[in-house]
Structure formats: C-alpha cells, structure tokens
Structure 1
C-alpha cells in the first residue's frame, strides 16, 4: 500500500441526501487502489458558520471544533470532494468547512465528484476556483452524476457502468498528483 492518504469529503449534511451513496460508491471503487482512501462525512463535523476571529491563513485556531477539523484534514495528502449542486454552486456546509482552514489544504491534490440535475458541473466549476485559491492542485478528470439518468426516482443511486472508467482515470490522476506534491509538504 502506498503511503499516500486521500480523504473523500462528503459535502452534504441534508436529511435524505444522495451524496452518501455517491461517496460510498467512490470509496468502494477506491478499495483496490494503491492509496489509502477514507470517507470524511461533514455530518460528523458540525461546524457553525465560520466563527474564528483570526483569518484561517494565520493557522491560529481558537475553537475546539476548528482544531478537530484541522487535525482531520491535515492527515491527508489529497481529497475527493463529493458535492451536490445547489443553486448552481456547492452546498453551504461544504463551503463553510473549506473556509475554516487554509494551511491544511495547501500543496495537496483534489478531484471532484458531483451530482445534480445537470450532473453538478457548475458546482465543480466553483470548487475549482476555491481550490486554486487554497493552493490545492485539482486534476482534470471529474465525475458528474445526473439525477435524471444515474438515480432512480431522483433518490436511489444507480450509476451507469461507463462511470467506472472515469473513476479509474480520476484515481490515476489524483494519486499521481498527490504523490508529486508530497515533497512540497515535507521540505
């Protein structure tokens, strides 16, 4: 097993959310990979709206919930963000969780998986801009699941088989970039 660790961040806490099935599908496909993947459910980190007095870039966290979140995120070399598309963007809970930290995200790699009425493509575009500001290198390959074609009755996740090939490419790119960036964090 490789020494790289990748967190799969489930970016929705909404009751009845579709994201858990999507994140678990990603995690299931990652089990055979040469990296350690782990699910990070934002429901397990109930962060209030950003309540730190100092900017996250200073890394001087005062609140216990922030310190716990920072410790969790710092463990990983890369991330897969699983996000719904709400109103042409990412969920508020995901944006809030990202905004809490800065240095913990820097010089790491990320990939994006989305779902929504048009596959969540607009949410991914917003995540790419956010990731760039946080010095997260994001890979080209993404996965976008349509509520119309990849879910039964808009709620039961039944992804089309062609997504497996895309997932494999996503993992290949993410693991390569994560490995390449590791020396930047250890120097």
Structure 2
C-alpha cells in the first residue's frame, strides 16, 4: 500500500487531470459540435484540468487557474457555464484534495480558505441571471437575483462547501495515513538501533 501511495502522491494529480479531461470529452462529445474549439466549455475544462494537474506540484498555480477561470467568467472574458457542464467546477475541489494531501500546513489553510471564496463565486455564477441566464437553474428569471439568492443561494453554497469539505477530508486522511506510516518506520528504526 505504501509504495502505491507514494506513486499516487507524486503522479496522482496529473493522472486525475487526464481522466477528468477525457471523461468530460467523452460525455460531451455529442454536444461539442465539430471540434473542442467550438464548444463553450472548452476554456473552463482546460483551466480546471490544469488546476488538477498542478495541484500536487504547484499548489498556488493550481489555485490561480481556478481563480482565473472564475474571474474570467465574472468579467465575461470566458464563456459561462451552461446547464449541462457546470459540474466542471468540481475540478477545483479535486485539486483541493491533492493540495490537502501533498502541501504543507500553511498552504493547506490558504487552499481551504480560497475554496470557500471559490464556492461563493461559483454560487453567484450559477444563480445570477447575468450569467448564461442562470445556466438553466431556477427560473423564472423575472424575479431577479435577490429572490433567487434568497431562495436557493445558501442551499447551493452549502452543497458546494460540503463537496469541497469531503474532498479536503479525503486528502487530509491520506496525508495523515502516510505521516503515521513514516512515524512507525522511524520508531522501528530507533528501537532497532537501541537494541
């Protein structure tokens, strides 16, 4: 188990990124049109894939890709999510799991705080009528953002936080398991040398 975890700690994030990208391309193949370049979800998928791929090696760059995606969508520079591909956002929480597993304590706290902010921005982008007509969520739109956020904002925000917390907990449990194994090995070596 330990050798496998050692390999996954180093190469798991890039492998997860390839899997994430491939599964999205397969799932959306019928809706992509003639090529990936004409699909509105292209840039969100590419940026989330990069965030996952870099999570174990460059955690701040990974967070930067997620922040760049959300800022680009808020500024209308990147296509907003449509109803059938909003779940690309969940790639940010997959990246969070790898950051919690592989990064230091300070980086873990920064990543957790950043993902709370990300979840808030995702909630706004998914519910606001200004972005892809609410991406197909919760019409009628004539009631405006205030009614939509009051009715559904906390529910969606809580759901995103719950998913983020589950991913972060998975990463932390893997980190604790590996640290525990290292402590046992160190104790065994100390006992052997004492004998």
- With normalisation by structure 1, the TM-score equals 0.31
Structure (1 or 2) with the larger CA radius of gyration: 2
Structure in which a larger fraction of residues adopt helix? 2
- With normalisation by structure 2, the TM-score equals 0.30
